[in-house]
Structure 1
Amino acid sequence: MLDFLLPWAFTLVVLPLLMRLLPPASESLGAAIRAPFGARWQRLQGEGQVSASVSTFRVLGLFLAWICIVTAIARPQWVGEPIELPNTGRDLMLSLDLSGSMQIRDMQVGNRTISRVEAVKAIASDFTERRVGDRVGLILFGSKAYVQAPLTFDTTTVTQFIREAQLGFAGEDTAIGDALGLAIKRLRDRPAASRVLILLTDGQDTASSVEPMEAAALAAQQNVKVYTIGISRNLGTTSARGGEVDEALLRAIAEATGGEYFRARDPRELQAIYGIIDQLEPVEQDASTFRPRRSLSYWAMLAGLCLGSVVLLTGGLLTGLRSRDGGAAA
C-alpha cells in the first residue's frame, strides 16, 4: 500500500501556476522605427513560432519534474502487509544491593576469595544475558534506590550496566523497602501475570523511608512476585545481629508476594539460585503487529532531476539547431 508521511506537501504543486498568474512587469514602449526588411521579419516570425513550441515543451516538462520533486518531499512509502510479533516472557526487575558491606571479600571461587559485589555482578550479568524474550530492568540501591535501566528488551545494555555498577553509587546503608517500592512503581502497569522482582541483598533494612513489609503488602496487591536472595557467609535471623542478612525479613517478603527466598553462601549457590529462577515459564502477552515500510522518496527525486535535466538539455539543443538553420538561411 502506498502511503505519504507528509501529504500536505502536495499543496506546493500549484506554486508554479500561481507564479504564472502574477501580472508581468510593465514594459515601456520605445519609439517605433521603420525598416524595409519585410521578408526578414517574416522569417523571424516563423522562428518565433518554433521558439514558442519549444517554450511550451519546456514548461510542461519542468512542471512534471516539479510534481516529481513535490512527491519526494511528501515522503512516499510502500507499506507492507502486517506482520504479527508475539511477545513472550516476563517483565523482570532486578534489584541489587550496592551498600558498603558488599565489598566484603568472603566469596570463595576455587583457591581465591572475591568480594560479594564481584560475585553478584558476574552471575547476575550472566543471568540477564540469558533472559531472551523478557523485558528486564535494573534497580540499584544502598541508602537510596534508583532505576539504572527501565524495563527493556535490550538485555545487552542491562548486562553492561550490571558490570559497570560500583559501590558507593547509592550510599553505604541498605534501603530494602525503598527498592521494593520503586520496583512496584515500575511493574504495576505491566500485565499482572508477568510481574517479577528479584531482590538481592547482604544486609538488613537500615535506611528505608517505607517499611519493607508494607512494601511487600503493596507488592502482593499489585501481583508483583518477589524472589529474595540473601548473600553472606553468615546469615542472621533478626536485626539484632548487625551486619548480617535479615533472613526472616527476606523470607517474609517472598512468602507475602508468592515468591521464594534463597540463601547464597558462595558463588556456586548463587549460580544455582539464578538457574532456578531462570526456569520461570514465559507468559504469552498481547501480540504486537509490525508493518514494514520502504521509502520511495529517492525514486521520485531521481525521476524529477532526470526529467528536468532532459527538458533543459533538449530545449537548449532545439534552440541551437534553429539558430544555426536560421543563420545558414540568412
Structure 2
Amino acid sequence: MASSSAEASARAPTTGSVAAPAVSIDPALNLDDDRDSAYDSEIASYTTSLATSVTAYKEHAGRRFHAYKEGSYIFPNDEKEQDRLDITHKMMEVAFHGPWRAPVKNPKRVLDLGTGTGIWALEFADQHPESDVLGNDLSPVQPRWVPTNVRFEVDDIEAPWTYSDKFDYIHSRALYGAIKDWPKLIDQAYENLAPGGYAEFVDLKISMQSPDNSVTPETSIGQFNSTIVGLAQEMNQEMDPGPKLEGWMKDSGFQEITVKRCPLPMGTWPKDKHLKEVGAWMYLQTVEGLESFGAYLFSVKLGWSKEEVDVFCAKVRADLKNPKIHGMLEV
C-alpha cells in the first residue's frame, strides 16, 4: 500500500490581547464540602459507565477496535497497532529530520490531536518542560504514568471544542480515515489558537503512487489500495487529506503557511541514502499494518472472515518484498 502525505504548519494572525471579563460567583454556589455515601455512589455510577463505554472494545477479523463512538475510526487500537503507530512516529521523524516542523518557541499550552500512543506528546513535553501538553484520542491506550506537564484525555476532536484557554501550538498527524469534516476540524484549531500561535498538520494521501508504474491494478498491492480507499470513501472517511491541508488552512484564515514534502518510498530501492532509511521505516510500518488497514473494512463492509483477510494480506506482503514493484508516497 502506498500513501502520500503532506505536512502544513501555519501561524495564527497576531492580534491585540483582550482582557477576560470579571467573573462573579453566585453565593448560592459556595457550598460546603460535606458529602454522603449516596452522593459518592451517584458520581461513581457515572464514572463507571463512562469507563465501561470507553473500554468495551470490539473485535473484527481478530483485531481489537475502540468502543467510544464506534466506527468513527476504522483502524484498531490493540498492541500490534500501537507498535505500528510508534514505528510511524519514527518514520516521520526520519523523514522530517525531527518530530515537528513548526518553529515554536517556549509554547505554554500544546494540544496533540488524536494522540494515539502519546509518543509525540511525551517527546515534545520532555524537550519542552515549560509546556503543558494535552493529548486527546478516542482510545485510552496512552501510558498511565507520565511527566507532570503531560496529560491525556478521551475525546472526539470532531465534536465542538470546549477549552477555556487557547493553545500556543496545535499538532495533528496521520488522521487519514478518522475525520469526516476536515474544514470544520481546521476551523476549530484556528479558533482555539492563541494569537501568534502555530498549527501543524501532517497527513497522508493513501491513493497509490509508483514512479515507474510498477504498481498496476493487477497487483495485489494495487487491489488492496484501491479497495481500502473505495470502502473508506463510502463511509465518508477522507483517506487523502494530505494534499488538501494547505487549502483548508487558507480557508480557515491561517497566515504564513509553509508546506514541506518528502518522498516516502515503500522499501529501500531508492539510491539516496536518506530516502533508503525513510523507505525502510515505511516498509516496516506497512508490513506491520496491513491487517490494521483492512481488518475493519474487509470484515465489516465486505463480510470477509479473518482467514480471507489474512490470505489477501499475505499476497500484498509478497508484492512488498518484490524488488520490481516500487510503491511510493509523499509526506
**TM-score w.r.t. length of structure 1:** 0.28
Which protein is richer in helix relative to its size? 1
User: Which structure carries more relative contact order (alpha carbon 8 Å, separation 6+)?
Assistant: 2
**TM-score w.r.t. length of structure 2:** 0.28
